[in-house]
């Protein structure tokens, strides 16, 4: 392919160096964010344009500009200024394609080196894009799809972070579409979403015209339908959701639970919380105060209306290769109840996957700061420990996490730092930026500065999925978005109309 010549490397105080190369633009226009390539003694060097500066000798000195303009005639009219305007592009060398692979530049190219727009083939190789990968968008200024290798993107976990409204859920919907469209021979994983706002339930609806239908690949579970089978709980999991349980109490609970399980196996059938309570109440060995404490806690758990005799749904029914399970928690207000659900099902997912009883999966956690918060007591964060465990160990078993949050500061650092790929959309809060910078080594100051000026749908990808930080525009989604949030005007009109309707109905009745 013919290369497009754009300029020539110039010699200034700071450039060319291994970390900074400036060139004067002699041909075409170039943009910040565009990639260029040039010959180098070790191979072909790829560089990113970080800034484009226009200069003109006529306007360099403030005193002479003032003096000439004082004559009443603009400098532009007095001199051939346009001929003296030139453009310098600052670039940051990214890597050199040598015979033995891509190397970091250690010596600069020479002044006078010709600079060309980077060929797409080179960029594709540099970022490790994969034809078989997850298609998420396009590189700006280049004719190239961002297709990320699924393993590199997800295996060591993904965090999607930004302020609210910048496009996190949209981007994750694109990732889910890609997972659902994979063919068996490409390797397809299961996807489970904990969805506190019901944003993904539209995947389960028949698609309107113009959208791709994923309803036959989606299972929707409403939070209210969920039941946790008490016989499936072990004492560790129960202790995790009972605040401040003592060792003695735990021991008694464990003993009675295993007695009940034994009875169950001998044909008594599964038991629920009230049966567990009965067993504790009628136990003669247990001390009175231990007994009453345990009974009080179990009554509290009973009031959540969450526990039953068996799991509903059963994990093995909802985790299928190439399919999506949306666990819609929007009908549950109690945060603790939501955390218990996340904790229980995350435990199950991890354990079943470890035993290879279910497919490799991606577990998407929306509003992840609610489920793995940075600052919260154990009791107020019952789902944190298991999410930490999956973050730490999941990669070995094909159990991947995708954490989504608009409050990175409130997200547990331990979990966040295990997310080896970060997809960052617009962020403005300096504390959030700082928190992210601390959890990601690859991020440099210049990339960090650019995050605050990203538009909706523009993303910075760093970490495992790409060799070098990558800015790109996230593609349109193919799935139908969830019902849009009403504007204040719409909500007000709807309210008045419903009142008017009620009034006219009651008048008709009179
Ligand atoms: N890449 C994109 N292209 C087009 N529209 C987008 C893109 N990303 C987000 N949007 C739109 O912006 C709005 C907010 O996006 P959303 O994903 O809900 O943000 P967040 O989850 O970060 O709060 C939505 O209406 C969505 O359709
Ligand atoms: Mg969202």
What domains are there in the chain, each with its CATH number?
A: 5-127 (no CATH), 146-226+313-474 (3.40.50.300), 228-307 (no CATH)
Whole-angstrom distance, CA of residue 68 vs CA of residue 247: 87
Count of alpha carbons within 13 Å of 67, Cβ hemisphere only? 6
Q: Is 165 in the pocket of ligand 1 (CB under 6 A)?
A: yes
For residue 8, with 0-12 CB atoms within 10 Å meaning exposed, 13-18 middle and 19 or more buried, which class applies? middle
Distances (CA, A) of 105 to 35, 41, 94, 192, 441: 16, 10, 7, 42, 19
Q: Ligand 1: which of 136, 140, 167 to mutate, judged by most atoms within 8 Å of the beta carbon?
A: 167
Contact 372, 419 (CB under 8 A): no
Q: Is 456 in the pocket of ligand 1 (CB under 6 A)?
A: yes
Whole-angstrom distance, CA of residue 410 vs CA of residue 386: 17
Is pTM beyond 0.85 here?
A: yes
Q: Which residues pair with 229 in a beta bridge?
A: 308
Q: Which residues contact 470 (CB under 8 A, 6 or more apart)?
A: 127, 139, 146, 460, 461, 462
Whole-angstrom distance, CA of residue 232 vs CA of residue 133: 38
The total of other beta-carbon atoms located within 10 Å of residue 54's CB is: 10
List of E strands, 439-495: 458-463, 470-474
Contact 199, 326 (CB under 8 A): no
Q: Is 166 in the pocket of ligand 1 (CB under 6 A)?
A: yes
356 Rama class: left (phi>0) / alpha (psi -120 to 50) / beta:
left
Using the mean position of ligand 1's atoms as its centre, give its distance from the Cα of residue 474 in Å. Answer: 10
Q: Is 457 in the pocket of ligand 1 (CB under 6 A)?
A: yes
Q: Which residues pair with 364 in a beta bridge?
A: 193, 402
| DSSP characters over 190-224 | EEEEEETT--SGGGGSPPPTTS---GGGEEEEEGG
Q: Which residue has the tokens 């970060």?
A: 422
Q: How many residues does the chain have?
A: 510
Q: Which residues contact 493 (CB under 8 A, 6 or more apart)?
A: none
Using the mean position of ligand 2's atoms as its centre, give its distance from the Cα of residue 30 in Å. Answer: 34
- For 142-151, the CB contacts below 8 A with 24+ separation are 142/34, 142/35, 142/118, 144/120, 146/461, 146/470, 146/472, 148/461, 148/465, 148/466, 149/465, 150/179, 150/182, 150/187, 150/189
Of the candidates 221, 163, 216, the one whose C-alpha atom is nearest the C-alpha of residue 192 is: 221
pLDDT on residue 487:
83
Q: Which residues contact 236 (CB under 8 A, 6 or more apart)?
A: none
Contact 424, 406 (CB under 8 A): no
Which one of the ligands is nearest to 197 CA?
2
Evaluated on CA atoms 464, 466, 470, 474, the torsion sign reads negative
Contact 403, 439 (CB under 8 A): no
Whole-angstrom distance, CA of residue 456 vs CA of residue 206: 27
Q: Are strands 190-195 and 361-365 parallel, antiparallel or unpaired?
A: parallel
Which one of the ligands is nearest to 168 CA?
1
Indicate the DSSP class of residue 108: P
Cα dihedral 47, 50, 52, 55, rounded to 10, equals: -100
User: What are the phi and psi torsion angles at 42 (to 5°)?
Assistant: -100, -10
Q: Give the pLDDT of the chain (510 residues) as one tens digit per residue.
A: 689 999 999 999 989 999 999 999 998 789 988 999 999 999 999 999 989 999 888 888 899 888 888 888 888 788 888 888 899 999 999 999 999 999 999 999 999 999 999 999 999 999 999 999 999 999 989 989 999 999 999 999 999 999 999 999 999 999 999 999 999 999 999 999 999 999 999 999 999 899 999 999 999 999 999 999 999 998 888 887 887 888 989 999 999 999 999 999 998 889 999 999 999 999 989 999 999 999 999 999 999 999 999 999 999 999 999 999 999 999 999 999 999 999 999 999 999 999 999 999 999 999 999 999 998 887 788 899 999 999 999 999 999 999 999 999 999 999 999 999 999 999 998 888 888 887 776 677 777 778 888 999 999 999 888 978 899 999 999 999 887 667 899 889 999 999 999 888 877 666
Indicate the DSSP class of residue 163: S
Q: Is 170 in the pocket of ligand 1 (CB under 6 A)?
A: yes
Q: Ligand 1: which of 161, 164, 170 to mutate, judged by most atoms within 8 Å of the beta carbon?
A: 170
Which one of the ligands is nearest to 457 CA?
1
Of the candidates 104, 89, 97, the one whose C-alpha atom is nearest the C-alpha of residue 43 is: 97
Using the mean position of ligand 2's atoms as its centre, give its distance from the Cα of residue 403 in Å. Answer: 11
């Amino acid at each position: 392919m013919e290369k497009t010549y754009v300029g020539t490397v110039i010699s200034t105080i700071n450039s060319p160096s291994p970390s900074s190369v400036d060139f004067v633009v002699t041909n075409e226009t170039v943009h910040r964010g565009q990639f260029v390539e040039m010959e180098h003694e070790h191979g072909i060097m790829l560089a990113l344009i970080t800034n484009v500066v226009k200069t003109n000798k006529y306007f360099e000195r403030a005193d002479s500009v003032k003096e000439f303009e004082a004559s009443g005639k603009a400098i532009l009219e007095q001199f051939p200024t346009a001929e003296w305007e030139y453009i310098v592009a600052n670039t940051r060398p990214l890597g050199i394609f040598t015979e033995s692979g891509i190397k970091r530049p250690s010596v600069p190219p020479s002044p006078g080196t010709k600079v060309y727009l980077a060929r797409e083939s080179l960029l594709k190789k540099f970022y490790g894009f994969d034809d078989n990968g997850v298609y998420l968008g396009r590189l700006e200024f280049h004719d190239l799809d961002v297709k990320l290798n699924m393993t590199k993107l997800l295996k060591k976990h993904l965090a999607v972070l930004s302020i609210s409204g910048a496009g996190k859920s949209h981007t994750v919907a694109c990732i889910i579409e890609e997972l659902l469209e994979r063919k068996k021979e490409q390797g397809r994983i299961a996807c489970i979403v904990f969805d506190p706002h019901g944003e993904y339930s539209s995947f389960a609806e028949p698609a309107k015209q113009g959208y791709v239908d994923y309803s036959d690949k989606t299972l929707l579970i409403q939070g209210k339908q969920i039941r946790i089978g008490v016989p499936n709980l072990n004492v560790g999991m129960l202790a995790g959701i009972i605040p401040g349980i003592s060792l003695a109490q735990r021991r008694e609970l464990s003993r009675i639970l295993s007695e009940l399980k034994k009875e169950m196996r001998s044909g008594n059938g599964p038991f629920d919380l009230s049966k567990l309570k009965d067993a504790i109440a009628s136990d003669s060995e247990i001390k009175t105060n231990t007994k009453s404490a345990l009974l009080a806690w179990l009554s509290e758990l009973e009031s959540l209306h969450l526990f039953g005799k068996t799991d509903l749904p059963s994990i093995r029914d909802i985790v299928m290769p190439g399919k999506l399970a949306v666990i819609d928690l929007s009908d549950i207000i109690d945060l603790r109840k939501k955390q218990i659900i996340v904790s229980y099902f995350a435990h199950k997912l991890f354990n079943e996957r470890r035993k290879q009883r279910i497919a490799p999966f991606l577990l998407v956690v929306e509003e992840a700061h609610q489920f793995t918060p940075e600052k919260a007591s154990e009791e107020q964060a019952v789902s944190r420990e298991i999410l930490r465990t999956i973050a730490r160990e999941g990669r070995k078993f094909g159990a991947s996490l995708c954490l989504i949050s608009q409050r990175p500061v409130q997200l547990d650092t331990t979990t966040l730092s295990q997310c080896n790929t970060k997809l960052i959309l617009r962020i403005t809060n300096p504390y959030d930026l700082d928190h992210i910078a601390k959890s990601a080594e690859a991020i440099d100051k210049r990339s960090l500065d650019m995050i605050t000026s990203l538009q909706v749908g523009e993303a910075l990808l760093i970490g495992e999925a790409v060799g070098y930080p990558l800015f790109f525009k996230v593609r349109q989604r193919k799935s139908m978005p969830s019902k849009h949030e009403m504007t204040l005007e719409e909500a007000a009109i709807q309210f008045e109309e419903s009142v008017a309707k009620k009034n006219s109905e009651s008048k008709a009745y009179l």
